[in-house]
Structure 1
Amino acid sequence: MRTIWRDVADLVLPLDCAGCGCARAVLCEACGEELWGQEARRVRPAPEPDGLPVVHAVAPYVDVVRSVLLAHKERGAMVLSDALGRALASAVAEGEAQPPARRGRRRPGRACPERSLVLVPVPSVRRAVRRRGHDPTRRMAIAAARRLRAAGTSAAVLSALRHRRAVADQSGLNSRERQANLRGALELAPGAARLLAGRRIVVVDDLMTTGASLAEAGRVVRLAQTWESTGKGRTRAAVVAASPDSFEINRN
């Protein structure tokens, strides 16, 4: 019920721009450009956690982008889902445009058929979903998949991951502590392995700081993959924003 009333309020109440605060504009043109006016790029945190998929992001997590993400995530501005989904779709598309790493040989005579794309959101803990009244990453993923389909890419969203144990609040933890906090924290939801097998998988989240959440999600998703169907290392990740330092590291 809380979510329904928030959705209604988003539609009928005038909102200031989530990026700069200008009146009666959910997201003004200038702030929108901060989200989707930049080319998505590969990002890497330092240190880079083991098992981190290849990650693409649209913008550094600063200023306008930070304000918009927080408004959507913490202040219930669900009307921003489409704008953020547009940015996330750009990051997904850029990652898909890059060739997969070549590891080993394909079996002779076997073609590599086109596989549908599945966006797998990093799950929020239940208490956070209850407090916020919605799951922000899943909302953005649905909007991104809609954008991708409109552009001709077969894309769907599957909530394939769930928490198997409690985790501590990540705020205030450094990179090593976050990895330890999340190690083994996720598992595949019942039936998810069958639905993911043979698909092109992109793990999605709103933000990457240390990469610990994406590394854990990637580890679990790879359990659903096989050499013949997807190839090792084919799992990718996409986020709207990443820490500024991760944009500056160039080790390609």
Structure 2
Amino acid sequence: MWNRGRAAHEAAEAAAAVPAWRSWVSRGERLGSALADLVLPEDCAGCGRAGTVCCAECRSVFDTPELVARGAGTHALTRYRGTARALVVAHKEHRRRGLTGPLGDALAAAVPHLPTARPGPDGTWWLVPVPSRPSAARRRGGSHLLALARRCAATLHADGHSVAVAPALRLAAGARDAVGLDRTQRAANLAGRLRVREDACPPRGTPVVLLDDVVTTGATLSAARAALAGAGVPVGAALTLTAA
């Protein structure tokens, strides 16, 4: 669980030049993923091909991102359909955590090229994952979006960027599953429940990039923007894997 001490620790490291842990995380996550594939090979979550959690062909659906625009400053890598949908659902609902690597890498490839995104004054890119309902996160074995954000950060760092992850939002108990809700219902579902974690925020005025896996109506991202703006944290851009 995130706490004030850890938030301060990560923020301090983000401000330091080339923090040592970032390259360690990048190498460690990739090595761990490779070892897991060798010891416990899985079938591809996109096509069922044996021996890999995500084959090169299925991974390629994110290689040339369409950057589907969903409102000012909101982009998705591709549409929520076919192989992309299968990969997102497997990662989110079926706990296929081996997909964190390829999906996080796909986000990292797009972040520096988002039209409205920008790093902070010191050159650090700040990533804020959209939170899940607490009950959903428990069912899924943890926050899949926080895992994606951390992989995205590790990959960006390996590419030479200064980057930090700020889990600055939390969703209070009482929010319903948003599946099947329209934009108005989703907004009402989030009203008063999407809150800022002051101890995990970047410095006031620092632009951030919101990360999510699917954008449907845009209500969740709008609520996240509003909550962060109220804390003095502007959202430069929002990036999702897919757009429904």
TM-score class, shorter: 0.7 to 0.9
TM-score, normalised via structure 2 length: 0.78
Q: Distance in 1 between matches of 2:168 and 2:126?
A: 10
Report the AA paired with residue 225 of structure 1: G
Write the deviation string for residues 159-210 of structure 1: whole angstroms up to 9, x where unpaired: 11112341111111112211221123211113234x3423220111111111
Secondary structure of 1:191's aligned partner = helix
> Which shifted more, 233-242 or 76-85?
233-242
Residue 211 of structure 2 is matched in structure 1 by 204
Q: Which structure ranks higher in relative contact order (CA pairs < 8 Å, sequence separation ≥ 6)?
A: 1
Q: What's the C-alpha RMSD, in Å, of the aligned pairs?
A: 2.4
Answer yes or no: is the 8 Å Cα contact 2:133–2:172 preserved in 1: no
Larger relative helix fraction = 2
SS at match of 1:241: strand
Q: Distance in 1 between matches of 2:90 and 2:65?
A: 23
Q: Does residue 1:240 correspond to 2:241, yes or no?
A: yes
Between the aligned partners of 1:138 and 1:26, the Cα distance in structure 2 is 20
| 1:216 paired residue among 210, 219, 223 | 223
CA deviation after TM superposition for structure 1 residue 94, in Å: 2.1
Q: Map 1:1-252; keep pairs closer than 5 Å.
A: 12-35=39-62, 37-44=63-70, 54-95=73-114, 98=115, 113-193=121-201, 195-225=202-232, 234-243=235-244
One-letter amino acid matched to 2:67: R
Structure 1 segments of 4+ aligned residues over 6 angstroms from their partners: 7-11
Q: CA 1:162/1:100 → structure 2, altered by over 3 Å: closer, same or farther?
A: closer
Give SS of 1:129's match: helix
**% identical equivalent positions:** 38
8 Å CA contact 2:37–2:53 kept in 1: the answer is no
| Equivalent pairs, count | 210
Partner AA of 2:88 in structure 1: L
CA–CA distance in structure 2, aligned partners of residues 181 and 238 of structure 1: 22
Q: TM-score, normalised by structure 1?
A: 0.75
- Report which of the two structures shows the higher radius of gyration computed on alpha carbons: 1
